[in-house]
Structure 1
Amino acid sequence: MPIYAFRCSACGHAFDRLQKLSDPDPETCPACGASAVGRQVTAPAFRLAGSGWYETDFKKDGDTKRNLAGDSAPSGTASGGESAAPAPAPAPAPKAEAPAAKPAA
């Protein structure tokens, strides 16, 4: 169950509440009894760090981690298990020639 943060706009009292997604938000402030309680937007309680998502972080010492994001897939294979071929280089765009300057008369 998630923990939600609430704040009373009447008295400024802030409190947290552990509740289900389907539970209604509290209507009255536990400190002053006013019906001016609103949900606060808070930062998530977890952080994603590292170079990608791994199949599992609990591999044995001899096993290698496989990056599911495909950023650092083993050479010769793409993230879907297909052979990785280098992308063809785009053809250079034709250069537009500047009009020739007229000689001063």
Structure 2
Amino acid sequence: MPIYAYRCSACGHAKDVLQKLSDAPLTTCPACGAQSFSKQVTAAGFQLKGSGWYATDFKGGSTATPATPAASDAAKPEAAKAEASASPSSSTSCGGSCACH
């Protein structure tokens, strides 16, 4: 059952009411008795979270692009970059045994 926000335009009394969709809207203010109690327009009470369509397609308004080798290297922490450059590479012609690295 949805929760509707009501507000009296005569006295300003506000109340949230749990009602069925088939229930008639309230019109009488419980505080002052005036016939000016009406439903208010409110935001939805839920959020779409996780890896679903909302989070990946519309949040932030940007499109996803595949990562390039330069972009993935830029995403590495600085400690990992320093460690990778300090360790000798086995794919070089000298095998990492010289001081050229």
- Provide the TM-score with structure 1 as the length reference: 0.48
Give 1 or 2: higher helix fraction: 2
TM-score between both structures, scaled by the size of structure 2: 0.50
